[in-house]
Structure 1
Amino acid sequence: MAGSASELARRLGEDAEAVCREYLSNGHRSGNHWIVGDVRNTRGRSMHVRLKANAKGPAGKWVDEATSEFGDLLDVIRESCGLVEFRDVADEARRFLALPRPQVQGAGAQRHPAVAHGSPDASRRLFAMSQPIAGTPAERYLAGRCILLGSRERSLRFHPGCYYRDLLTGETLTLPALIAAVTSLDGQITGLQRTYLSHGLDPRGPVGKAALADPRRSLGRLFGNAIWLGLQPGTPVPVMAAGEGFETMASLRTVMPALPVAAATSANHLAGLSFPPGCRRLYIAADADAAGRHGIERLSQRAGEAGILALALRPQLGDFNDDLRHLGPASLIAWLRDQLLPDDARLFLPSG
């Protein structure tokens, strides 16, 4: 499907210099980069936007050397314009690209005027409208990924007909979705991640991700918060694990069910993750994605500044879900045993 956020970013990247001149007007071109102070269009030289694709990556990608932030041109539009909701970011991108704005169905219609789209309130309402995952396609989807969490994980729900909006055309689909709550350390829902699932005619058959360009969508207030598995609000967490992807962290939770884990949903959000009270050791799940390493480095730095020992956990394959599915839980447990500190291995891994 061509209506994904990645497609909008790609189209912006085709004319990256024009985007920079429009939204980062305090910068200037230098070779193949646009140089500016930061993504909010401050004067300076620490942020570099790649103007033409090369061996290092596609056009439009940027990094701020001062803060380790990085992203694409949609992030530039959001931050430089002071936008909050992604719908507004997509609308502004379409305006710049001279694409037609999506038509609103029904003159003057507004489905939920009391709650702003993408707000924490909207996230809490969607979560409340969902159901526990037991016996649902969401549970079968996770089982198909060898992720076995059970009903103890209250942050996971299932919605049988969740809206999916094509960011390029505005077309709306209705699809089943795994709903994962993003929460603050006090347990308040601040956002959601939706994993859209494929329709299955067999109610007992396998379930996969929907055939979409971006089958995962997040909304709400994400920075500093995470999809927490095993967190008891207000309880000290001396040892925890954190990473970018939900399935990566859920895979670790499957083989270490007593270890609290946090999935930050993106590398930028991983870099800004808030630490729970009493945290002394933080295991950071790495993967093969180069972009994620920026988030890992920044999180490690912040942990050290807070007096927390940060240790990396590295998979054998692309990520820990690949390890769990293709190598099996016994192999993953043995691999982790060599990376955990001995006391943590005895505490969180099965004996033998």
Structure 2
Amino acid sequence: MSVYSVSEIADKINRQAREIAQELLPNGSYNHNRTRWQFSGISDNGKSTSAYVELTGEKCGKWFDFGNAAPGEDKGDMLDLLRLKLGLVAPRDAIEEAKQRLGIVDDWKPGRPAQLPPEEIARRAAEAQARAERHEATQEAARAKAAKNAKRLWLSGVPIAGTPAEAYLLGRSLRADVWPGCLQFRDQVQYQNEDGSEKRDVPAMLAAVYLADGTHVATHRTYLQQDTSTGWGKLAVPKPKKVLGKMWGGFIPIHKGSSGKPMSKAPADEPIYVTEGIEDGIVVRMMLPSVRIISAISLGNIGAIVLPPPPNGGRRKLVIVCDRDVNPKAQDQLERSIAKQQARGLDVKTVMPPEHFEGLPVKDMNDWLCAWLESQRRQRKGAA
């Protein structure tokens, strides 16, 4: 019979990170692509995601806590997590626990893993709870400050009529009579590139981002620039659209639909159409003026939006207006968003534009509209 080294045992138990993380940290959740298990810290009873476990790759099984972690509880591997969460006395006890989980039987038998006294486990749990509460308070203050700054930015704008923001939307073939009331324009909004090396003020279209209860949590910015030949368009940078504030779970209201009621009072038989982009939402409003429409900003965020139940019971209906994106990552995000909303009891359907229209490529609803208008222009020109 052989003896396994500590490194061999650690490597084997780290490969079980996905199962162990969910068992020992049940209040956590996957990140957007399921490569990490996010949690609030060793206490696992907060709302933040300041800590995470790597579930894939070379770092599989390693975890890191960037919150208010106690010394020795800020990083480790699955052996450390077993020791801390099960209240084991020493690292060798964690090794023995790992061997039992792995079914390893060798010549080294230190006996059953020794646990800390119950009062010591309780004391450590109380300390972890206090740290989590302090971290939550800090996070909540940061969210409130970000929301305040985002709302201040939006309020500093002006209605888009007659501004470059209106010219941008008109350039996307969107009618001026359906502009959402949540849109504003500001001629100078700071743009900062991804590495922070460049900052400048440029014109931007602003959109308010709300939670379903009406709380303004963020402001979406579409940075604009003028081209002498094509007119106003998006700023020529890798990411011309950004969000100020914590947008997760929020949405941009495009249209209240025929009922005109707040989200909490919308009847069950009124479907809610959700698009990724603002422009696609306006297209849906042009085509279906009676339906309620929101923009989720990103595909992953569709699953994070928590809609209130219908006031008189029933099953709320959600129609996801998808972009035509064959990227496997996008497909996975869509499937997870659908699953999350179905788990909340919603009746979920999807619609998607065709891949091509009259020989023109189509990526999203706005492209489809532009392709249709171009085909009409061609027909008129041919008839003339």
Q: Report the equivalent of 2:34.
A: 63
- Deviation string for 1:141-190 (max 9, x for gaps)? 01111122537621111110010012314321110001111111122211
The answer to whether the 8 A contact 1:267-1:292 is kept is yes
Alpha-carbon offset, residue 228 of structure 1? 1.4
Q: Quick one: which of 174, 181, 187 aligns to 1:160?
A: 187
Alpha-carbon offset, residue 235 of structure 1? 2.7
Relative distance call for 1:42 and 1:283 in structure 2 (3 A) is same
Q: Does 1:324 align with 2:369?
A: yes
Distance 2:308 2:154 in 1: 23
SS in 2 for 1:199: strand
Paired residues in the alignment total 250
Alpha-carbon offset, residue 295 of structure 1? 3.2
Q: Report the equivalent of 2:347.
A: 309
Distance 1:277 1:330 in 2: 42
Distance 1:42 1:206 in 2: 56
Q: Does 1:179 align with 2:206?
A: yes
Considering fraction of residues, name the structure with more helix.
2
Distance 1:77 1:175 in 2: 33
Q: Quick one: which of 232, 242, 245 aligns to 2:274?
A: 242
Deviates more, 1:128-137 or 1:149-158: 149-158
User: Residue 142 of structure 1 aligns to which amino acid in structure 2?
Assistant: L
Q: Does 1:273 align with 2:319?
A: no
Relative distance call for 1:146 and 1:125 in structure 2 (3 A) is same
Distance 1:236 1:47 in 2: 30
SS in 2 for 1:224: coil
| Gap runs ≥5 in structure 2 | 1-9, 39-48, 53-63, 68-140, 355-361, 377-384
Distance 2:175 2:308 in 1: 25
Distance 1:146 1:129 in 2: 27
% identical aligned pairs: 25
Relative distance call for 1:293 and 1:262 in structure 2 (3 A) is farther
Q: Does 1:223 align with 2:248?
A: yes
Distance 2:29 2:143 in 1: 32
Across the aligned residues of Structure 1 and Structure 2, the Cα RMSD in angstroms comes to 4.0
Q: Does 1:282 align with 2:326?
A: no
TM-score w.r.t. the length of structure 2 is 0.55
Q: Which runs of 4+ in 1 moved over 6 A?
A: 40-44, 46-49, 76-79, 114-118
Distance 2:302 2:347 in 1: 16
The answer to whether the 8 A contact 1:47-1:62 is kept is no
Distance 1:197 1:42 in 2: 48
Q: Does 1:150 align with 2:177?
A: yes
Relative distance call for 1:117 and 1:176 in structure 2 (3 A) is farther
SS in 2 for 1:119: helix
* Within-5 A mapping of 1:25-104: 37=18, 62-64=33-35, 82=66
User: Residue 164 of structure 2 aligns to which amino acid in structure 1?
Assistant: P
Q: Quick one: which of 120, 134, 137 aligns to 2:164?
A: 137
User: Residue 369 of structure 2 aligns to which amino acid in structure 1?
Assistant: L
SS in 1 for 2:283: helix
Q: Does 1:260 align with 2:305?
A: no
The answer to whether the 8 A contact 1:159-1:177 is kept is yes
Distance 1:41 1:215 in 2: 37
The answer to whether the 8 A contact 2:220-2:242 is kept is yes
SS in 2 for 1:287: coil
User: Residue 328 of structure 1 aligns to which amino acid in structure 2?
Assistant: L
- Deviation string for 1:206-238 (max 9, x for gaps)? 211111111111121211111111244343153
Q: Report the equivalent of 1:210.
A: 235
| Gap runs ≥5 in structure 1 | 1-26, 50-60, 68-75, 84-113, 332-352
User: Residue 237 of structure 2 aligns to which amino acid in structure 1?
Assistant: L
The answer to whether the 8 A contact 2:178-2:285 is kept is no
Alpha-carbon offset, residue 251 of structure 1? 1.7
Distance 1:161 1:254 in 2: 30
Q: Quick one: which of 110, 128, 133 aligns to 2:155?
A: 128
Q: Report the equivalent of 2:5.
A: none
Relative distance call for 1:282 and 1:118 in structure 2 (3 A) is same
Relative distance call for 1:149 and 1:254 in structure 2 (3 A) is farther
Larger Rg: 2
SS in 1 for 2:370: helix
Q: Quick one: which of 164, 183, 197 aligns to 2:224?
A: 197
Distance 1:239 1:216 in 2: 28
